[in-house]
Amino acid sequence: MQIYAYLLNLVYCLLLACASPIILYRVLVQKKYRSGLAQKFLGQLPERNSDEPCLWFHAVSVGEVLQLPPLLEELKRQNPTLELVISTTTHTGYAVAKEKFPELTVCYFPLDFSWAAKRALQRIRPTAVILVEMELWPNFVLAADQSGIPVSIINGRLSEKSFRGYRKLRWLIGPLLNRLQLIAVQTDAYAERFQNLTGHVDRIQVTGSIKFDGIQVDRANRLTAELRSVFRLNSDETVLVAGSTQSPEEQIAVEVYLAARERFPKLRLILVPRHQERFNEVAELVMRKGLPLIRRSDQESEEAGAVLPFSTTQAPAIGLLDTLGELKSCWGLADFAFVGGSLTKRGGQNMIEPAGYGTALMLGPNTWNFKDVVDALLQHQAATIVQDQTAFQETLIQWLEDPRLAEDQGSRAQRFVLDQRGATLRTLALILPFISGGKSDSQDKAA
């Protein structure tokens, strides 16, 4: 086992050496990867001194972090002395976790060098480690196993593309997965893929997706109302939100918006880029076109008061949501939503949040990261696939001409979301036994 860890360390070092020019460029020029270096490379996570039970949740980035509040709230309600640690991989995930959980320990997940993984586990001393969705690192899992710390996956998903890749490495991935105490997955299809990799059905449980339980469905919530004031939206205006976008999806959304506004001057557009480092780039894109712009980050709280009407001779401002963790609330402004990463090769982004508000959904054709959710939405006639900019524009204009079409699709989407709830309590029942050092329900059934 020690030789295995050393070999992995060697492979990681070689990969870092090969990628070092790119990494240095991103550190020096793009100013990425600068925070949490001691935590990532050395495992110098905050040291926990208490002897109370502790669950360490690892949420890779923003999407996984935002799934956690309902589950953590219920855990603390049932176990007031339980300590919770949240780790993330990305800077944006870390920032959102600090904002969402100011009372909890938030840190970066260690890189998968054996020394970093061991040191991190020694400093946190968790009762159990819970991986949200799936980010599996061999040295970390092995170090936890050697220390007698159970590692589990909750809300797990395994896309067809990822499954094909893992299957080629089944000799490595299978034994690793078999060291996990619990693999709680979202769908039967995911369970079947994990079973194929592990060769076992024990410890694999289908719980549904906890994403549905934390979904906001009330457009009158406080944060959505605040954003409505910030972006100066009038009640008679129709709003298109293009969220979680990548280049060139913002350019496409702006061009579609301008074309539609020629016939529908009450249309407004709000852009929400996926990555923080592109906020300024998107702002410049809008201003180069000579269009007024409202940036969320420029608005002082006291300015988000009365809605200010625009001159009828001037196009209303495009909104740019350039803050972290607020997209969830921003979807509540949308009559129509385009979910980004789907006209690019990203594979799509989370479309459950706009669906929860009853928003009419448009998605590009590339949504393999959310294939099961998209298939279900399409089966319920609750989403529309747009193949390109032309289809995007045609669908938007069709909805503007006949708003009832959009309203009906949005209602079907919201009903679908409401019908999926309950995964949080099912997941909670599986991980509660870890707090006392016992077996999960899945282990009891397998025993």
Catalytic residues: 64
> In whole angstroms, how far apart are CA 32 and each of 22, 65, 332, 354?
11, 20, 31, 30
Query: From CA 48, how far away is CA 121, in angstroms rounded?
Result: 10
Say which residues have a Cβ less than 8 Å from residue 14's Cβ, sequence separation at least 6. none
Say which residues have a Cβ less than 8 Å from residue 56's Cβ, sequence separation at least 6. 85, 87, 124, 126, 128, 129, 130
Q: Coil, helix or strand for 135?
A: coil
93, 60 contact by CB (below 8 A): yes
What is the Cα Rg of the chain in Å? Answer: 23
348, 363 contact by CB (below 8 A): yes
Query: From CA 54, how far away is CA 37, in angstroms rounded?
Result: 24
233, 268 contact by CB (below 8 A): yes
- Displacement of CA 5 from its chain's centroid (Å): 30
Q: What are phi and psi of 423, to 5 degrees?
A: -65, -30
Query: From CA 79, how far away is CA 88, in angstroms rounded?
Result: 23
Say which residues have a Cβ less than 8 Å from residue 418's Cβ, sequence separation at least 6. 217
Beta strands in 32-143 (DSSP E): 54-58, 83-88, 105-108, 128-132
Query: Which tokens is 306 given?
Result: 């009365």
Q: Coil, helix or strand for 131?
A: strand
Say which residues have a Cβ less than 8 Å from residue 317's Cβ, sequence separation at least 6. 231, 232, 291, 292, 293, 294, 310
Task: Supply the angle between the helices 138-146 and 170-177 in degrees, to the nearest 10.
Answer: 40
Query: From CA 215, how far away is CA 365, in angstroms rounded?
Result: 24
**Burial class of residue 81 in the structure, from the number of CB atoms within 10 Å of its CB (0-12 exposed, 13-18 middle, 19+ buried):** exposed
Query: From CA 179, how far away is CA 151, in angstroms rounded?
Result: 8
224, 233 contact by CB (below 8 A): no
